[in-house]
Structures are given as structure tokens and as C-alpha cells.
Structure 1
Amino acid sequence: MENLITRNDIMENQTFFWFSYFSWFRGFDEINELNIDEALANVIQVDTDKINKWSETFFSSINGKQRFIGGKLSKNLSFQIEFLEEEITFYINEQYIGNLGGHFEAWYLTLDEISVFEKYDFIFLLLLPMVGITKNELDFTKELISKNLKSIPKFKNQSEYISECIANGLVMHGEFYTDEKIGIVNNQNHSVRNINKYPDYRENVLKLNNTLK
């Protein structure tokens, strides 16, 4: 499928791909008051105009179909990330878990759940913006992200700083808790795992909880 972004596609353009992808994140440099895209531009020496042009071409639709990354990870687990013009949308087992864009929805996965995806090539970093953490988990999350960033040559020397910016955007104001009938849910705004605010996603959350536990 021409619109499928493969591992080879990512490997061939690692710096441009990850710079473009991370720029969508909600991360920020708290001390210098920079959004993640500005923070990246300060420490990764690349031509941002070239990256923007590359990104527009690379993620543009092919034959009317949006580009996506996805596939089966195991017998019971699959994922898909779709690159739309105004947003990036995320699915696990064809169940919608959130998006990055102007009206973002995120904070779906717990730190324990995302840690399981480390064994899959790149999947940890790809699903990272859907993670929600508490302030108490911030330091451990930074270390985990930094370790994974070191696999990207251009980001290796700045992995600690970039991981801090990314982790800042994962901190929730709400929290995860266990519902007796559904399993893990949360009370965080902008998360479809908040079944009180998004009751239509109740069955989807139940299905994914059974897969992820």
C-alpha cells in the first residue's frame, strides 16, 4: 500500500520524520517558555524550512487516501496512526484513543501500558503522545523517553532535554483509577478514557482494557 508508512520510510528520513512528528506533541520547555517545536529547533541543527516542505510532501494523501503507520503487533494487538491535514489520529485494535491537533484528545495510556510497547520497534515513541502521567512519574518518564530517543542519531546528544520537554506535556491534572465494571479509566479532560465525560466510548474502553491488561 502506497499510503502505508513503513519502518524503512522512517529509517531513511529519521531526522526529518521525528522532528516533524515530535513537533505535533503538546510538550514544552517550561523554563524558557518554548513549545516543543521551538525547543527542537533550538537544539537540533536542521533547516526547518526544508523539514516543513518535506513534511508536506511525505504526509500528503496518496490517491485520495491519508498516509498512516500501522499493523499487527501480536495476535490480539494492532495499532494505526493516521496523518490527516489538520490532525493525527490514533487507534489501537481499530478503537479510537485520541488525536493531536487543535481539538486534541490524549492522555489515554498509562505509563505501565506504554512501557509494554518498548519491545516493539519505534512503537513506544509513536504512541507516546497518548500517554498520561502524574507529577510523581515525571522523572521516571523522562529517563524512559531519553533512553528511547538515543536510538535516533540526531537526537542522541539532546535526549535528556527533549525527553523533559515531551514529558512535560504528558502530565495530567486528573488521574487514572479503576472502575469495577470497566477497568482502568480516568477523570482527565480531553481524554476519551474519561467515560463520565465521553460515555459513548464506554464499550471501546472496556474492550481495550481487556486487551491491555
Structure 2
Amino acid sequence: MEFKLTDPQVCILLLMNFPFASDPEAEQMLDEFVAENYEIPSEEWFTEVSGDVDANGEEVSPWNGTVFSFVINEEVTLVVEFHPFEVVYFLNDVFIGNSGGHFMLSLLSWQEFLKIVEVVEDDAMLFFVLLPFVVGAKGEEQEIRKEIEKHLEHMAFRAEHIPVIANFLVHHAIFNEDEPEMFYDDSELGKICKRNHSVRNKGNAAEDISRVNGLIRMAMEE
């Protein structure tokens, strides 16, 4: 299956990976807004992308969904696996997170994210594939909103909805209850994320954190 941002179904699929995307004033989640304003792809289309489930509603084994690979540079490739109930992400063969019920997404600072997507010339697709991993700071809100709105212009959404969708996505990246800085540098492990649902949280194995930090550093290199 070919993934293009001109395909409304692909755009909707990408927006389903932002569990914190909300509008507190409207008391609405992004998936609710999308369902109210756009035609949700058919079950058959989702099955083609994510693979089959058995009679009990469980993912079949072996899994037969779609793998999307995005070469960031000569050293690092982003690999995305679309499963029936989650999307699983890797840098090369190293797990970096997943969406779904037990999501693990908080991975990148806004500046790290920008450095990675700027490495790639045609970065619009990579922007939205990696955006769920961003942990932004309150002081970065205006810049984050501006960049999201700019990249949403490449997607198959109505122009009047771009600032609305951007607002949802900004609230995914920035939590009002977050501390001013959600990352800190550990002398042995490298950058650590304070959020629990992160492979860079210090509660994870030291070897795994170091490996992920190394791949992120390589991904930021041109």
C-alpha cells in the first residue's frame, strides 16, 4: 500500500495516533472531531493496512499488516508497523514506542524532532509520523503551532479545519501540568524523559535507554 498525504484515508490514519490530542475548552478529543467532519475509512481499508484478526478478535499470527519504512539518513531508518490495535515504531531494529491502549510515545524534545525532520528534504510525511512522540515545552507553543499548521497544508483536510486540528495536536505535545523542562541529561545514560510512558524514562533498562539515545543522536545528523 502506498502512503500519500493527498489520500484522506492516510491522513485520518495518522491522526489516530495522538492519544492526548484534545480541546479542553470544547471538551472534545481529536478522534471525535475527525469522525464528525470526515468520512472514516472502511473496516476493509483498515484491515488491509493493519492486518487481520481471528474469530476471537485477536491479531492473527503471523501478523499480516503493513510495514512503512522511512530512511532518515545513511545510519538510521524509521520503521512503522501498523497492527490491528496499535502502531509500533522502531529506529532500525530498536523499539522506540507504540500507540494503542498501552501507549509508549513520549520520546523526543521539540528541538530533537525538528533536527530529525529537517534532515529529510520531503519531510511532511515524516513530520506527522513522528509528531506523536514530541514532548514540547510551554514556551515552544507558538512555534509548535506554526509548524503544525504549515505541515497540515500538505494534508487532505479542509482549510478551515487546519487551525482547529493544529490546536488538538498542540495539546498532545504540551501538557499544562508538565514541568517547564521534561528532559534532563544523565551523565551515564544521556537524555532522560520524566514522563512514564517513554522508552527514555529512567525506569527502563539502562542499556535500552543508551541504545535509543544513540540512535536519536545519529538520526539528527545530516
User: Where on the TM-score scale, by shorter chain, does this alignment land: which range?
Assistant: 0.7 to 0.9
Which residue type is aligned with residue 20 of structure 1?
Answer: L
Q: Which residue of 1 aligns with 2:157?
A: 154
3-state SS in 2 of match to 1:207: helix
Q: How far apart, in 2, do the equivalents of 1:41 and 1:58 lie? A: 19
Q: Which runs of 4+ in 1 moved over 6 A?
A: none
* Matching of residue 57 in structure 1 with residue 48 in structure 2: yes
1:123 aligned to which of 105, 123, 126? 126
RMSD: 2.4
Bigger helix fraction:
1
Higher relative contact order (CA closer than 8 Å, sequence separation 6+): 2
Aligned-residue identity in percent: 22
Runs of 5+ unmatched residues, structure 1:
none
1:12-64 CA distance string (max 9 Å, x none): 8611111122023121121111111112233x4x323x444432333326984
1:145 alignment partner in structure 2: 148
Asked if 1 retains the 8 angstrom alpha-carbon contact of 2:73 and 2:219, the reply is no
TM-score scaled to structure 1, two decimals? 0.83
User: Are 1:197 and 2:203 an aligned pair?
Assistant: yes
Count of residues in Structure 1 that have an aligned counterpart in Structure 2: 202
Question: CA deviation digits over 1:148-178, x for unaligned, max 9?
Answer: 0101142443111101101201225351111
Residues of 2 paired with 1:90 and 1:12: CA distance? 19
Letter of the 2:93 counterpart: E
The CA distance in 1 between the partners of 2:17 and 2:216, in whole Å, is: 26
- CA deviation vs aligned residue, 1:157-204 (integer Å, no higher than 9, x gap): 31111011012012253511112233222111111111x211252232
Q: Report if the CA contact (8 A) 2:75-2:219 is conserved.
A: no
Q: 1:40 and 2:39 equivalent?
A: no
Superposed displacement of residue 86, structure 1: 1.5
**Structure 1 residue aligned with 2:215:** 208
TM-score normalised by the chain length of structure 2? 0.80
Q: State the shift of 1:89 in Å.
A: 1.0
Match of 2:139 among 132, 136, 139: 136
